[in-house]
Chain A
Amino acid sequence: MSASPFASFGTINAMPRAAETHPLTWRLRDDGAVVGLDEYRNKDGYEGARKALDMKADDIAGLVKEAGLKGRGGAGFPAGVKWSLTARGEEMPRGYVVCNADEMEPNTYKDRMLMEQLPHLLIEGMIISALANNSFRGYIFLRGEYVDAARSLEEALVEAREAGILGTHVLGSDFDFDIFLHTGAGRYICGEETALINSLEGRRANPRSKPPFPGQSGAWGKPTVVNNVETLCNAPSILANGKDWYLGLALEGSDDGGTKLFGFTGQVNNPGLWELPLGTTAREIFEDYAQGMKSGYQLKAWQPGGAGTGFLLPEHLSAQMCSNGIGEVGTRMGTGLSLAIDHTVSMVSLLRNMEEFFARESCGWCTPCRDGLPWTVRILRSLERGEGEQGDIEILEELTGKLGPGKTFCAHAPGAIEPLGSAIQYFRDEFEQGINHPKREAHGEPIPVGSV
């Protein structure tokens, strides 16, 4: 391995890490090379899976529930609760555990690091999930662009099979379980868990109607649990060290247990990724780790965790990064990787860029999403040119309601309009300036981005 083998090599490799406090990253190498099987085992690897092999499925799910592990993919659903809802028992067929490794949420670069550098941690997490959900097979649904992660995972899967960690006798037990890597071919919607199952089955990635939930009827009609990469990577340490230790990792005030991969990007001095306790304030991440804004840039707004989360103001940096902490200031923590919006960025232009993305990535299945998102793009483009009309902002506000939760087939459109609603709420004047802008008559050409 060369000195800096992966795109994910960075701040996460340079920060101080310890087994007691950094369950996700303490095994990382300073040089960023992949942690292979021997090294992973020497660092207590597969100890959590060994403990899980001696436990009943319900007890594993219960332990993970009590440890306060919430889904790390963005929705934040408690992982142990999800596991406890999977249909299992003598009369049920054994189903699947599917790792959602389709990391495509804008501003998200955490799962890539785990898969490139720590593939065995994910495999161990999937074995534990398989035991809790009585799954006979696992799939890692990996986005097609992550070719380095695919290489790390394939090599680790071969190592694990040869060492008897996967296969007919997992770690010498009577439990049989194997994992296959399934690589995708683009499209953001594949990250929606039922769309992901359709894509896994070789179909177009349209979401499925729920109910039935995947835990009842998922891939090929069998009970299926879909978990994010980072979620699964938390399971080994919970099994190895217990729920009290895990709950104690989070700071006071956090409803969620454990640590989280946090990040900050944009025009900050030190953009990066760090493993920190849940409940760390956004200000600490922004100021101490990202080291604040670059000279000449001022923080205007920030987004806590991905394109589908709402905008917040600098004063909200005092919020704790955990589901309840960000919930209290009006949005969701999402993926926990934050983006700084600096004073040079027009909110109208930024939202135009974002809604172009969401409109392009709509699967087109349901009308509100298929027609509504391009409508927001058309309005935002005209506002950006200073050619908006009276009533445009009201239409956008109406759309934030009509594309909201419960109005569409899946969470794609609700995620798309959450940032739009908060941008209008906090920066309405910028949108109003796009209506009958004085420059309109003098400029036949579009007004440059950022000047409105």
Chain B
Amino acid sequence: MDQPMNKDSLIFTDRPGSDFVLHDDDRHAIEHEMSHYENPRAASIGALKIVQKRHGWVPDGAIYAISDVLGISSSDVEGVATFYSLIFRQPVGRHVILLCDSMTCYINGYESVRETLKDALGISPGQTTADGRFTLLPVCCLGNCDKGPAMMVDEHIHGPVSPDNVMRLLEEYS
């Protein structure tokens, strides 16, 4: 691909996602986060979450926009974005299903719930349904072990979930 280049620095001047515009509210929210710390870098995870809340995921352009606001390199922001499992660097469905796969839910039979979800939604963990409704992801222990198997959809925790009740639970997420 031919891209315009800056001959002096050999850096692509037309950076990916340059059409991304950081929403003013988000910029202010990030600046507010920064005020809580000694160093603006500390707001990097918060900034990624703010952008993700609006867009559902973190597009390429947001990495540069956040690096500009925080005053740190875009590679640092990308390093953080790709380290944390709840920051999504590719589009996800309208609703994200986090299914606990830790040992207590294993003993309580989460695998049968996973199989039910795979069959009914036609996706494996890590994938998004064709209609863009759900993304299914595994997650560490959700701290709901006395009511396991546990599942979180968006901001709601459910449990115990079973092959019998899991699809009914998902009906409320359109």
Residues of chain A whose beta carbon lies under 8 Å from any beta carbon of chain B: 7, 10-11, 103-109, 111-112, 144-148, 180, 182-188, 199-205, 219-220, 263, 265-267, 271-273, 307, 337, 339, 341-342, 345, 350, 353-354, 356-357, 361, 363, 449
Contact flag A202-B143 (CB < 8 Å), given A107-B103, A354-B103, A357-B101: no
Q: Which of B77-128 contact A (CB under 8 A)?
A: 79-80, 83-87, 98, 101-104, 106-108, 111
- B139 close to chain A: CB less than 8 A: yes
Given A108-B141, A186-B86, output 18 extra A-B contacts at Cβ < 8 Å.
A7-B144, A11-B146, A103-B143, A104-B143, A105-B141, A106-B140, A108-B143, A109-B144, A111-B143, A147-B155, A186-B140, A202-B41, A202-B42, A265-B146, A266-B107, A273-B146, A307-B102, A356-B101
In the bound complex, what is the Cα–Cα distance between A88 and B51 (angstroms)?
Answer: 39
Task: List residues of chain A with CB within 8 A of the CB of B143.
Answer: 7, 103-104, 108-109, 111-112, 145-146
Q: Which residues of B are interface residues toward A (Cβ below 8 A)? A: 36-39, 41-46, 48-49, 70, 79-80, 83-87, 98, 101-104, 106-108, 111, 139-148, 152, 155, 157, 159
Question: B103 touching A339 by the CB < 8 A rule?
Answer: yes
Q: Find the A residue at minimum CB distance from B155.
A: A147
The chain B residue with its CB closest to the CB of A363 is: B83
With a CB–CB cut-off of 8 A, which chain B residues contact A354?
103
Residues of chain A within 8 A (CB-CB) of B48 are 185
7 smallest CB-CB distances across A and B, nearest first, come from A186-B85, A185-B84, A106-B102, A202-B44, A186-B86, A202-B41, A271-B146
A353-B146 contact given A145-B98, A184-B45, A204-B79, CB 8 Å threshold: no
On chain A, the residues within 8 Å of B146 by CB distance are: 10-11, 109, 263, 265, 271-273
Q: A184-B45, A186-B140 given as contacts; is B83 within 8 A of A345 (CB)?
A: no
The answer to whether A107 touches B102 (Cβ under 8 A) is yes
Alpha-carbon gap, A272 to B145, bound state (A): 8
Give the CA-CA distance A220 to B42 in the complex, in Å. Answer: 10
Cα–Cα distance between A266 and B103 once the two chains are bound (Å):
9
Kindly provide the distance from the CB of A364 to the nearest chain B CB, expressed in whole angstroms: 9
Q: Given A109-B146, A201-B39, A265-B146, is A184 in contact with B84 using a C-beta cutoff of 8 Å?
A: yes
List the A side residues contacting B80 at CB < 8 Å: 202-204
Taken together as a complex, chains A and B put the C-alpha atoms of A146 and B142 apart, in Å, by 8
Report which of B106, B142, B144 forms a contact with A350, defined as CB distance below 8 A.
B106
* B169 CB to nearest A CB, Å: 14
* B residues in contact with A188, CB < 8 Å: 140
Q: A188 to B42, alpha carbons, bound, how many Å?
A: 19
- Chain A residues with Cβ below 8 Å from B159 are 7
Docked CA distance A7–B49 (Å): 23
A187 interface neighbour in B41, B83, B111, Cβ under 8 Å: B83
Which residue from B106, B111, B145, B155 sits with its C-beta under 8 Å from A109? B145
Chain A residue numbers with a CB within 8 Å of B144 are 7, 109, 112
The minimal Cβ–Cβ distance linking B152 to chain A, given in whole angstroms, is 6
